[in-house]
Amino acid sequence: MFTTSLAIAPIFVLILTGYGLRRAGLPSDEFWNLNDRLVYLILMPAIFFHSISTADLGAAALGGFASLLYAGFFAGILAGLIGAFVMRHHGRAAGSSLVQGAGRFNTFIALAVAGALYGPEGLELAIIGAALLVPVVNLTVVTILVVMLPQERGIGLGGQIMATLKNLAKNPLILSIAAALAWNLAALPRLPVFHDSLEILGQAALPIMLLCVGANLKLRGLSTEAGPLAIAAIAKLLLFPGVIVIFALVLDLTPLQAQIALTFGALPTGVAAYTLARQMGGDAPLMAAMITLQTLLSFVTMPLWLSLGERIFGL
């Protein structure tokens, strides 16, 4: 475990550095807001397109890998829905944030951890894992939130779902994944200047993304309701990875596939959950508290899970 903790320690140092810089007002709040947009619009799509368009998808045997990822994700979502029902006196807004906190994950940290521990092969597999998860996660979570949260006047449930689907169709991450898959399936060659430029952008992406993760943490919100925070943390940091370990022992996967899937399972909730909660009328302060608490807890839980996975899977 010590070796694993030491290998991923720089990742959490960058997260804490981002937190410290923003709290100190360096360089400015506007800088961090623009960086968030840079990551979302340019850097993440670049790293996705470069890796997926050039990956050997036929040799990856992705069926079992995808099943493992989806098993963990839907277990977390189900736990969040049960928790939202149990805690229904907190209101639908809090319940919707509980669902997100139980099932969503921080892709930025996944890519950084996979690259640090398992090299280029691990990073490529983590990017493929993100490509498998991102469209499913977004569609599932947004649909649940549309059903759970009050609708705008004059817009029925069907209209709200259609509007949401249109927004998802404009998501840069989903668009880059779809374009990369089309490029790969068409067997188009790697273009020297084009792909080299994307590769350079991808190399810049990870440190900037980690700084942004830290910059978006909000410690003040941790005084909020303990119940939803605890349920979301247990579902995301214990149940999600636990289900992946159990299913990985049944499915026919390579040790690296099982370990990368476990990496996704051990992740804290992603910052995008806060943005979605704010946009759709969820409990945004509670969501921010969940993200912060789980990120801090993952400093301890992630090395534990990854060390356990390496022993179980023989990596």
26-35, 51-60, 191-200 — which is least confidently predicted?
51-60
CB-CB neighbours of 252 under 10 Å = 9
Q: What's the confidence (pLDDT) of residue 89?
A: 54
Residue 152 pLDDT grade (very low, low, confident, very high; cuts 50, 70, 90): low
Task: Look at 142 and 150; give whichever has higher pLDDT.
Answer: 142
Residue 166 has pLDDT above 90, yes or no: no
- Per-residue pLDDT of 248-306, as tens digits, reads 999 989 999 999 999 999 999 988 899 888 888 888 889 999 999 999 999 999 999 99
Q: What is the mean pLDDT of the chain?
A: 89
- Whether residue 154 has pLDDT greater than 60: no
Residues 6+ away with beta carbon under 8 Å from 69: 129, 132, 133, 244, 261, 264
- At 77 the pLDDT is 96
Amino acid at 137: V
pLDDT for res 9: 93
Residues 9-32, mean pLDDT to the nearest whole number: 93
Mean pLDDT of 56-82: 89
The DSSP secondary structure of 1-36, one letter per residue, reads -HHHHHHHHHHHHHHHHHHHHHHTT-S-HHHHHHHH
Q: Check pLDDT > 60 for residue 38.
A: yes
Greater model confidence, 254 or 165: 254
Query: Is the pLDDT reported for residue 126 higher than 70?
Result: yes
- Using CA atoms, how far residue 41 sits from 47, 55, 201, 263, in Å, is 11, 22, 12, 25
The pLDDT of 33-58, averaged and rounded, is 90
Domains of the chain (ranges; CATH) run: 2-313 (1.20.1530.20)
pLDDT score recorded for residue 240: 97
Average pLDDT of 151-159? 59
| pTM of the predicted model over 0.95 | no
- What span, in angstroms and rounded, lies between the C-alpha atoms of 33 and 271? 13
Residue predicted with more confidence, 235 or 169 = 235
Q: Which of 88-92, 95-99, 257-261 has the highest mean pLDDT?
A: 257-261
